[in-house]
Amino acid sequence: MPRYRNEIAKYIINRSDDCVRCGKCAQLCPHHVHVLKPGYKYFAMPKSYLCTGEACEKMDHYRIDQCPQKALRIAKTP
């Protein structure tokens, strides 16, 4: 059993209202940070604790750059 109820994230991912729910981030993210459940209209909150952050920027699957609406933002946890 985990010591804390919620995981502590190194990075925080924010999805703005510009998101059109195209699902590209959910399809391509190998870490399952972005989840759009079948039959649901809206995304769940991004699972920031799964994000690899800066290491992900060097990969082809980097979601922040591939969002057509530029609706995703990533920041280090203070």
* Domain ranges, residue 16: 11-76
What token pair was written down for 9?
A: 């994230």
Domain of 44, CATH number, reads 3.30.70.20
Q: Domain for residue 4, yes or no? A: no
Q: Domain for residue 2, yes or no? A: no
Q: Domain for residue 5, yes or no? A: no
Q: Domain for residue 56, yes or no? A: yes
Cβ 74 vs Cβ 57: under 8 Å: no
As a whole number of angstroms, the distance between CA 17 and CA 40 comes to: 17
What rounded mean pLDDT belongs to the chain? 81
Q: Which residues pair with 75 in a beta bridge?
A: 12
Q: How many domains would you assign to the chain?
A: 1
- The percent helix, strand, coil of the chain (3-state, each to 5) is 20, 15, 65
56 pLDDT exceeds 80? no
58 pLDDT exceeds 80? no
Q: Domain for residue 35, yes or no? A: yes
As a whole number of angstroms, the distance between CA 35 and CA 38 comes to: 9
57 pLDDT exceeds 80? no
Confidence of residue 1 (pLDDT cuts 50, 70, 90): very low
